[in-house]
Amino acid sequence: METFIEEEKVETQSEIKDITSHADVSLIAKEKASNIPANSSLIDSVKSKEMIQTKLITEDILDKKFENAIAESLSRKQFIITDTLPKMRPISRTGQLSNNIYILFESNDEDGNPTILIIDQHAASERIMKERFLSQYRGSKVQKQQLIFPLKINISPAKLFFLKEHLSEINKFGFELEDFGGATFILRAIPAIFGKLPKLDVLKDMIEEIANIGKQQSFSDSEEEIINYLACHKSIRGGDYLTLKDIRKLVLDLSKCKDPYHCAHGRPTFRVISFRDIDKMFKRIV
């Protein structure tokens, strides 16, 4: 995965070098002109015109590069429509498909044979969040995010008694929940892994679901199931648009997981299709 990033960096550097190479020629010309004695007004005039011309040429090259990049970006979004074939279009430059669920890569198997690798962005993100959260929980280092304005949460009667009895267990998952009397609780902090504050009804559902999972068996037996539930809520969702920077981070974070192959619920995070299998689809080989 890291090789993918390095190769792209080389390609980017090559493009920059290609753009600036035209400007290098003009700089040489300017340096030569600067060595000519400055007491000649004719030479000064020629030098000035040369510098203006150089600037115009460089700007024109950059403008054309920019226009071509925009044109290519727009053309990728347009379907090619014919009378006989299904409509089609190239995938995006990032590899993220239009449903914003799967990301396509070119890869290689263990023997170096070329493959296509497809990542499920939610499954991959969920695995990352699970391992991060599980590590914090088991090390008793779950980071909390204090709320500027504490929230009042009303809990349904069916969960109320159990929640009051096991408040300390629930707070170990990064919440800071206090009994306010009756069916009302005060929420002063949430797990820092959540990032931005979820909506109040989502928080209420989460707390009640944690209580529900813990009620079915002991919290020690259900800790991983609770963490799976919380990791799912924090993860990148199917349908979320990702930039190339987001995709790079997702791949690198996934590569550091103990089990990068499955999401928190056991689904695969990615699948691989070999070029050989594609050749078989097209009957190029038997």
The answer to whether residue 258 scores a pLDDT higher than 50 is: yes
pLDDT of residue 61: 64
* 77 contacts: CB under 8 Å, gap ≥ 6: 89
The answer to whether residue 4 scores a pLDDT higher than 90 is: no
DSSP bridge pairs for 262: 268
* 155 contacts: CB under 8 Å, gap ≥ 6: 163, 183, 184, 185, 204, 207, 208
Q: Which of 148, 245, 243, 153 is nearest to 207 (CA)?
A: 153
pLDDT of residue 203: 87
pLDDT tens for 188-224 read 999 888 877 788 888 888 888 888 887 777 777 788 8
Q: What average pLDDT does the chain have?
A: 80
The token pair at 49 is: 């015109």
| CA–CA separation, 111 and 272 (whole Å) | 14
pLDDT of residue 104: 96
For domain 102-122+241-281, give the fold: formyl-coa transferase, domain 3 (3.30.1540)
pLDDT tens for 126-169 read 999 999 999 988 888 888 889 999 999 988 888 888 888 888 88
| Buried residues in 198-229 as b, exposed as e (16+ CB within 10 A) | eeeeebbebbbebbbbbbeeebeebbebbbbb
Lowest mean pLDDT among 53-62, 106-115, 221-230: 53-62
| CA–CA separation, 78 and 119 (whole Å) | 24
Average pLDDT (238-256) is: 95
| CA–CA separation, 34 and 178 (whole Å) | 76
| CA–CA separation, 53 and 140 (whole Å) | 66
| CA–CA separation, 201 and 180 (whole Å) | 18
Give 277's pLDDT tier (boundaries 50, 70, 90).
very high
Higher pLDDT, 5 or 67: 67
Domain 124-234 grouped into CATH 3.30.1370.100: yes
Residues 143/249, Cβ–Cβ less than 8 Å:
no
The token pair at 64 is: 């054309």
Burial of residue 103, with CB atoms counted within 10 A of its CB: 0-12 exposed, 13-18 middle, 19 or more buried: buried
Higher pLDDT, 115 or 158: 115
Residues 47/33, Cβ–Cβ less than 8 Å:
yes
Give 44's pLDDT tier (boundaries 50, 70, 90).
low
pLDDT of residue 58: 63
Q: For residue 81, give the DSSP letter.
A: -
List alpha helices for the chain, DSSP H: 2-34, 41-77, 121-138, 157-165, 167-171, 200-216, 219-234, 244-255, 275-281
Residues 8/248, Cβ–Cβ less than 8 Å:
no
pLDDT tens for 218-234 read 777 788 888 999 899 88
The answer to whether residue 24 scores a pLDDT higher than 70 is: no
| Buried residues in 36-51 as b, exposed as e (16+ CB within 10 A) | eeeeeeeeeeebeeee
Considering all CA atoms of the chain, what is the largest pairwise distance in Å, rounded to the nearest integer? 96
End-to-end CA distance of the chain: 31
